[in-house]
């Protein structure tokens, strides 16, 4: 199954009764395996988690540590941009040149990279004096 199909399918399982905004994410890891996630909201709103976070957690739990491609989809007017926190989460496991496709349910796609989504990313090198 393609990343596009996997993300579109898992989006349907999102638990988003508060925002009504369902998001699906699929990532491919260096092993070739595909991991999926959807947003899981909570009545205590800050406890909700994003689709990307779910996919990344599944990847790490399975023993993979490197993202080679990512795909995110929502029913948005323009291709859904990952939130700031998810950009940092992607950057933890993906090199800057890793392709991220942002998509709409209607079929729109915007291809970008982890580096373009998070320019000037905070990284381990910034802690070298500590
Ligand atoms: N959301 C995601 O799952 N990923 C994103 O990249 C953007 C936002 C979710 C969080 C929340 O459940 C809903 O979309 C509205 O913000």
Mean pLDDT score of the chain, rounded to an integer? 97
Residue 92 covered by a domain? yes
User: Number of structural domains, the chain?
Assistant: 1
Query: Locate tokens 């970008």: which residue?
Result: 112
Residue 122 covered by a domain? no
Residue 90 covered by a domain? yes
Q: Is 52 a catalytic residue?
A: yes
Ligand 1 pocket, mutate which of 23, 40, 82 (most atoms under 8 A from CB): 23
Q: Report how far ligand 1's centroid is from the alpha carbon of 62 (Å).
A: 23
Residue 46 · residue 75 · CB < 8 Å: no
Residue 104 covered by a domain? yes
pLDDT for 65 = 96
Residue 43 covered by a domain? yes
The one catalytic residue among 52, 69, 109, 128 = 52
Q: Indicate if the pLDDT at residue 1 is higher than 90.
A: no
Exposed, middle or buried, 50 (CB in 10 Å: 0-12/13-18/19+)? buried
pLDDT digits (tens, 9 = 90+) for 36-49: 999 999 999 999 99
Q: Report how far ligand 1's centroid is from the alpha carbon of 74 (Å).
A: 9
Exposed, middle or buried, 28 (CB in 10 Å: 0-12/13-18/19+)? buried
Q: Report how far ligand 1's centroid is from the alpha carbon of 65 (Å).
A: 23
Residue 96 covered by a domain? yes
pLDDT digits (tens, 9 = 90+) for 41-87: 999 999 999 999 999 999 999 999 999 999 999 999 999 999 999 99
Q: DSSP labels for 59-75?
A: HHHHT---EEEEEEEES
Mean pLDDT of the region 117-129: 93
CATH number at residue 94: 3.40.140.10
Q: Which domain holds residue 77?
A: 3-116
């Amino acid at each position: 199954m393609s990343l596009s199909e996997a993300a579109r399918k898992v989006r349907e399982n999102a638990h988003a009764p508060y925002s009504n905004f369902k998001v699906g994410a699929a990532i491919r890891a260096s092993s070739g395996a595909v991991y999926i996630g959807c947003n899981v909201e909570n009545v205590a709103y800050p406890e909700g988690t994003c689709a990307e976070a779910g996919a990344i957690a599944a990847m790490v739990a399975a023993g993979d540590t490197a993202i080679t491609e990512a795909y995110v989809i929502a029913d948005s007017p323009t291709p859904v941009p990952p939130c700031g926190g998810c950009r940092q989460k992607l950057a933890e496991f993906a090199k800057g040149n890793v392709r991220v496709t942002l998509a709409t349910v209607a079929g729109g796609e915007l291809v970008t990279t982890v580096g373009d989504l998070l320019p000037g990313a905070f990284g381990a090198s910034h802690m070298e004096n500590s």
